[in-house]
Amino acid sequence: MKSADKHTIHKLLHRQLKKYAGEALLQNSQFIEFIDAVNDSYFAFEKDKELSEHAFKLSEEEFNAINSRLREEIDLRKLSLQKLKETLTGISADHNADSVNAEDDLLVIVEMLNLVIQKRKEAEDELIQAKIVAENASMAKSEFLSVMSHEIRTPLNAVIGMGHLLLKSNPRPDQVENLTALKISADNLLVLVNDILDFNKIEAGKLELENLPFELSKLVTEIVNANTLAAREKQNQISLQIADNIPSHLLGDAIRLGQVLNNLISNAIKFTDKGKIEITVSRMESEPENCRVMFAVTDSGIGIPMEKLSTIFLPFTQAGSSITRKYGGTGLGLSISQRILELMDSGLEVISETGKGSQFYFSVEFQMVGQAGEATEETTDQEPDLKNKKILLVEDTAFNVLFATQLLEGWNAEVAVAENGAIAVEMVTKHQYDLILMDLQMPVMDGYTAARKIRDYNKALPIIALTASATSNVKSKVLEAGMQDYVTKPFNPNDFFLRLKKYL
């Protein structure tokens, strides 16, 4: 038999086969498989019988020991289940004490686990939806700020520009006073707009610093000079001390550094009457190839209460509501300055006493550069002159066309005007120009599209974007469209001329 090849045939089965099975059956493979299974059952039965007999033979002492161990295991299992249910009950407040004490432990735990998992999934779905809503809100806010920036800056450019032209046209003394007031008000409005846009960039993590050569003493002196008139109007004395051991040229972001200093100086003037404002710039110890500079702005103004010192750097925060009513402002200046300095691996510190004044100070480490070996911003003391230069102004706003045309023609440039990008592309194909000033948002064809079309057949013609938008992605979009540079409206005429001169 085949079964004999596997193991010994049970003696009882062997007798039965010998007695009842014929040779034909023993040759049948299916019958043999059946007999093998029966044979295994015989042996299994005998083994179970032996175990049972052995169990019955165990002494009462051994049985009690086994029973005790089983009870311990059962108690441990119950304790584990109870602890697990208590933990789950702590996680899910939907279950009461009755469910914890229920006898169907495993069923209760499974139910509680399912509920916790369901709650977690619902919470995850809510978080995902909240994230989508927040992202959409952020996009809507950025879009709103971009539109409002453009809509506010466009007329503001005309206001500031026309004020500049009128001040340059030999006005009467009484007109000078009115135009100066107009200019100061427009500049203050521009500061507010810039603060809101900068704060939005900081929130979005898109405020980036440049690392270009600049002349530190010139930068600080110009900022102090720009604030001198406001200081005199409040009968304040303003002074500047720059240490002699500071290198003339450094690498850094002059615009953002100037923004911080201008904010501190203008704040000192705002909160001081008939007092003193002192600006000091000194050198600190640093590595040989670097220069750490300490900036301090000290005033004898109203000071800040001790309990308010920890909050003045928060956005939209001032020392008190009475300060806001009397002096105005958004409360963003110090917050933005602090965030800019954080990007420079620095921070703004303050020492102040109510009624005795304040001192704001910070230090920044710059790389040193040689004056001869580095390109620095060009300056000029002579009148701007663009004689024999043909400039195409692409602009659709009449007031901006009027201001830019008068400004450029006042510098002896020859100016042609295109009302939109499509007209500009056609004019470039028919005439020769030395430079194009390209507005970005226009009807028919925007500035980006027009620049790309011009670049299809003219790679060298300088194109400078004129934009009222100050969002963080404008620069990259301008360069991608083939333009060399951009100027944000409203612009300072002197800075604007230097930018034109660079490309002409």
pLDDT digits (tens, 9 = 90+) for 332-347: 788 888 989 999 999 9
Q: What are phi and psi of 419, to 5 degrees?
A: -80, -15
Is the residue at 394 inside a domain?
Answer: no
The pTM score is 0.58
Are 150 and 236 in a shared domain? no
Are 256 and 303 in a shared domain? yes
- What gap in Å lies between CA 201 and CA 470, rounded to an integer? 10
Are 227 and 347 in a shared domain? yes
Is the residue at 483 inside a domain?
Answer: no
pLDDT digits (tens, 9 = 90+) for 9-57: 888 878 888 877 777 777 888 878 888 888 888 788 878 777 777 777 6
The last residue of a domain, from among 199, 227, 242: 199
User: What's the CA angle centered on 171, arms 166 and 176, to 5 degrees?
Assistant: 85
Position 61 scores a pLDDT of 67
Are 275 and 353 in a shared domain? yes
Are 10 and 25 in a shared domain? yes
Domain carrying residue 18: 3-57
Are 235 and 358 in a shared domain? yes
pLDDT digits (tens, 9 = 90+) for 184-213: 778 777 777 777 777 777 776 777 788 888
Position 375 scores a pLDDT of 43
Position 427 scores a pLDDT of 94
Are 357 and 217 in a shared domain? yes
pLDDT digits (tens, 9 = 90+) for 424-459: 999 999 999 999 999 988 899 999 999 999 999 888
Check: CB of residue 258 under 8 Å from CB of residue 379: no
pLDDT digits (tens, 9 = 90+) for 391-435: 999 998 888 888 889 889 989 999 999 999 999 999 999 999 999
Position 114 scores a pLDDT of 79
Is the residue at 92 inside a domain?
Answer: yes
Are 220 and 276 in a shared domain? yes
Are 72 and 25 in a shared domain? no
Check: CB of residue 361 under 8 Å from CB of residue 243: no
Are 266 and 331 in a shared domain? yes
CATH number assigned to the domain comprising residue 234: 3.30.565.10
Rounded average pLDDT over 306-317 = 75
Are 234 and 352 in a shared domain? yes
The last residue of a domain, from among 182, 199, 216: 199
Cβ neighbours, 10 Å, residue 371: 11
Q: Work out how many domains the chain is built from and give that number.
A: 4
Local structure of 460: helix, strand or coil? coil
Is the residue at 326 inside a domain?
Answer: yes
Is the residue at 68 inside a domain?
Answer: yes
Is the residue at 347 inside a domain?
Answer: yes
Position 289 scores a pLDDT of 78
Give the residue from 494, 261, 489, 291 showing the smallest Cα distance to 395: 489
Comparison of pLDDT for 458 and 80, the residue scoring more: 458
Is the residue at 425 inside a domain?
Answer: no
Check: CB of residue 159 under 8 Å from CB of residue 182: yes
Are 216 and 80 in a shared domain? no
Is the residue at 454 inside a domain?
Answer: no
Structure tokens at 281: 């710039």
The counts of H helices and E strands in the chain are 17, 12
Per-range mean pLDDT, top range of 150-159, 181-190, 211-220? 211-220
Structure tokens at 457: 């057949």
Structure tokens at 153: 């800056």
Q: Which stretches of 116-235 are assigned E, i.e. beta strand? A: 212-215
C-alpha dihedral, 123 to 127 to 129 to 135, nearest 10°? 180
In the structure, what pLDDT confidence band is assigned to residue 4 with cuts at 50, 70 and 90? very low
Check: CB of residue 396 under 8 Å from CB of residue 442: yes
Cα torsion 448, 460, 503, 398: sign: negative
